[in-house]
Amino acid sequence: MFYRENGQFKTTYRADQQIFPIAQDRWAVLLLIAAAFIVVPMLSSGYMFRAILIPFLIMSLAALGVNILVGYCGQISLGSGAFMAVGAYAAFNFFVRVPGMPLLLALILGGLCASAFGILFGLPSLRVKGLYLAVATLAAQFFSDWMFLRIKWFTNDAPSGSVSVAGLQVFGIPIESPTSKYLFCLTILVVLALLAKNLVRSAVGREWMAIRDMDVAAAVIGIRPMYAKLSAFAVSSFIIGVAGALWGFVYLSAWEPAAFSVDLSFKLLFMVIIGGMGSIMGSFFGAAFIVILPIFLNQFLPFLGRAVGVPISTVVTSHAELIVFGSLIVWFLIVEPHGLAKLWSIGKQKLRLWPFPH
Amino acid sequence: MAFFLETLLGGLMAGMLYSLVALGFVLIYKASGVFNFAQGAMVLFAALAMARFSEWIPGWTGIDNRIAVNLAAFLLAGMVMFVVAWLIERLALRHLVNQEGTTLLMATLGIGYFLDGIGQTLFGSNIYEINIGMPKDPMLAFESVFEGGILINKEDLYAALIAAVLVAMLSLFFQKTSTGRALRAVADDHQAAQSIGIPLNRIWFIVWCVAGVVALVAGVIWGSKLGVQFSLTTVALRALPVVILGGLTSVPGAIIGGLIIGVGEKMSEVFVGPYVGGGIEIWFAYVLALVFLLFRPQGLFGEKIIDRV
The closest of B126, B80, B77, B96 to B36, measured between CA atoms, is: B96
A150 near B CB under 8 A: yes
Give mean pLDDT, residues B171-176: 81
CATH of the domain at A223: 1.10.3470
CATH of the domain at B267: 1.10.3470
Indicate whether B309 belongs to any domain: no
Indicate whether A72 belongs to any domain: yes
Q: Which residues of B touch A142 (CB under 8 A)?
A: 282-283, 286
Indicate whether A323 belongs to any domain: yes
Does residue B25 contact residue B35 with C-beta atoms inside 8 Å? yes
Neighbours of A231 (CB within 10 A): 20
How many angstroms separate the CA of residue A198 from the nearest CA in chain B? Answer: 27
A134 near B CB under 8 A: yes
Radius of gyration over every alpha carbon of chain B, rounded to an integer in angstroms: 20
Regarding predicted confidence, which is higher, B289 or A265?
A265
Q: Which helix (H) or strand (E) holds B152?
A: strand B150-153
What pLDDT, on the 0 to 100 scale, is given for residue B178?
84
Q: Which helix (H) or strand (E) holds B153?
A: strand B150-153
Beta pairing partners, A293: none
DSSP sequence for A314-336: HHHHHHHHHHHHHHHHHHHHHH-
Q: How many distinct structural domains can be found in chain A? A: 1
How many angstroms separate the CA of residue A90 from the nearest CA in chain B? Answer: 20
Write out pLDDT tens, residues B210-258.
888 888 988 888 888 777 888 777 777 778 888 888 887 777 888 888 8
Q: Do A216 and B293 touch (CB under 8 A)?
A: no
B300 near A CB under 8 A: no
Q: Which residues of B touch A314 (CB under 8 A)?
A: none
Mutate to test the interface with B, among A73, A142, A154, A317 (most CBs of B within 10 A): A142
3-state helix, strand, coil in chain B (%, to 5): 75, 5, 20
Q: How many distinct structural domains can be found in chain B? A: 1
Regarding predicted confidence, which is higher, B123 or B143?
B123
Comparing CB atoms, the residue among A131, A214, A326 nearest residue B117 is A326
In whole angstroms, give the CA distance from residue B80 to residue B88.
12
Q: Which domain holds residue A84?
A: 37-353
State how beta strands A169-170 and B138-141 pair.
unpaired
Indicate whether A284 belongs to any domain: yes
In whole angstroms, give the CA distance from residue B71 to residue B255.
27
Beta pairing partners, A255: A163
What pLDDT, on the 0 to 100 scale, is given for residue A299?
84
Distances (CA, A) of A132 to A4, A264, A272, B108, B295: 45, 20, 20, 15, 13
In whole angstroms, give the CA distance from residue B162 to residue B217.
9
Neighbours of A227 (CB within 10 A): 12
Q: Do B121 and A262 touch (CB under 8 A)?
A: no
A354 near B CB under 8 A: no
In whole angstroms, give the CA distance from residue B14 to residue A187.
51
A203 near B CB under 8 A: no
The answer on pLDDT for B140 being more than 70 is no
Quote the Cα angle for B186-A124-B12, to 5°: 70
Mutate to test the interface with A, among B18, B100, B108, B109 (most CBs of A within 10 A): B109
In whole angstroms, give the CA distance from residue A11 to residue A18.
12
Q: Which domain holds residue B115?
A: 2-295
A145 near B CB under 8 A: yes
In whole angstroms, give the CA distance from residue A304 to residue A302.
5
Indicate whether A25 belongs to any domain: no
Q: Do B282 and A326 touch (CB under 8 A)?
A: no
Strands of A109-180, DSSP E: 163-164, 169-170, 173-174
Does residue B39 contact residue B259 with C-beta atoms inside 8 Å? no
Neighbours of A222 (CB within 10 A): 8
Task: Give the ipTM.
Answer: 0.82
Does residue A339 contact residue A332 with C-beta atoms inside 8 Å? yes
What pLDDT, on the 0 to 100 scale, is given for residue A64?
95
Which amino acid is it at A171?
F
Among all residues of chain A, which has the CA nearest to that of B302? Answer: A132
Indicate whether B303 belongs to any domain: no
Indicate whether A225 belongs to any domain: yes
What's the burial of B305, exposed, middle or buried (CB within 10 Å: 0-12/13-18/19+)? Answer: exposed
Comparing CB atoms, the residue among B243, B282, B294 nearest residue A127 is B294
Residue A70 per-residue DSSP state: I
pTM: 0.87
How many angstroms separate the CA of residue A261 from the nearest CA in chain B? Answer: 12
Among all residues of chain A, which has the CA nearest to that of B274? Answer: A150
In whole angstroms, give the CA distance from residue B136 to residue B172.
32
Q: Do A329 and B308 touch (CB under 8 A)?
A: no
How many angstroms separate the CA of residue A133 from the nearest CA in chain B? Answer: 9
What pLDDT, on the 0 to 100 scale, is given for residue A202?
92
Quote the Cα angle for A54-A56-A58, to 5°: 70
Which pLDDT tens digits describe chain A residue by residue (358 residues)?
677 777 888 889 888 888 888 888 888 889 999 999 988 888 888 888 888 899 999 999 999 999 999 999 988 888 899 999 999 999 999 988 888 888 899 999 999 999 999 999 888 888 777 777 887 888 888 888 888 888 888 887 777 778 888 878 888 888 888 888 999 999 999 999 999 999 999 999 999 999 998 888 999 999 999 999 999 999 999 999 999 999 999 998 888 888 898 889 988 998 998 888 888 989 999 999 989 988 888 888 888 888 887 777 778 888 888 898 899 889 988 888 888 888 888 888 888 887 776 6
Beta pairing partners, B139: B152
B308 near A CB under 8 A: yes
Q: Do B113 and A262 touch (CB under 8 A)?
A: no
Q: Do A150 and B276 touch (CB under 8 A)?
A: yes
Indicate whether A11 belongs to any domain: no
Beta pairing partners, A174: A169
70-99 of B, contacting A, C-beta below 8 A: 91-92, 95-96, 99
Q: Do B282 and A135 touch (CB under 8 A)?
A: no
Query: For chains A and B, what is the number of CB pairs under 8 angstroms?
Result: 140
Q: Do A145 and B109 touch (CB under 8 A)?
A: no
How far does Cα A1 stand from its chain's mean position?
A: 33
B5 near A CB under 8 A: no
- Tell me if residue A170 falls in helix, strand or coil: strand
Indicate whether A358 belongs to any domain: no
Q: Do B279 and A150 touch (CB under 8 A)?
A: yes
Most confident of A129-138, A320-329, B190-199, B266-275: A320-329
Q: Do B102 and A327 touch (CB under 8 A)?
A: no
Regarding predicted confidence, which is higher, B306 or A290?
A290
Write out pLDDT tens, residues B98-111.
777 777 888 888 99
**Which residues are CB-neighbours of B307 under 8 A, at least 6 positions away?**
A215, A216
State how beta strands A254-255 and A163-164 pair.
antiparallel
The closest of A195, A239, A275 to A58, measured between CA atoms, is: A239
In whole angstroms, give the CA distance from residue B170 to residue A6.
64
What pLDDT, on the 0 to 100 scale, is given for residue B141?
65
Half-sphere exposure of A207 (CA within 13 A, CB side): 17
Beta pairing partners, A173: A170
The closest of B290, B294, B156 to B226, measured between CA atoms, is: B156
In whole angstroms, give the CA distance from residue B203 to residue A108.
52
In whole angstroms, give the CA distance from residue A89 to residue A95.
10
DSSP sequence for A242-275: HHHHHIIIIIISEE-GGGG-HHHHHHHHHHHHHH
Q: Do B121 and A323 touch (CB under 8 A)?
A: yes
Work out the end-to-end distance of chain A between its first and last CA atoms, rounded to an integer number of angstroms. 13
Range A341-349 contact pairs with CB under 8 angstroms and sequence separation of 24 or more: A341/A275, A341/A276, A341/A279, A341/A281, A341/A282, A341/A285, A342/A276, A344/A276, A344/A281, A344/A285, A348/A3
Indicate whether B154 belongs to any domain: yes
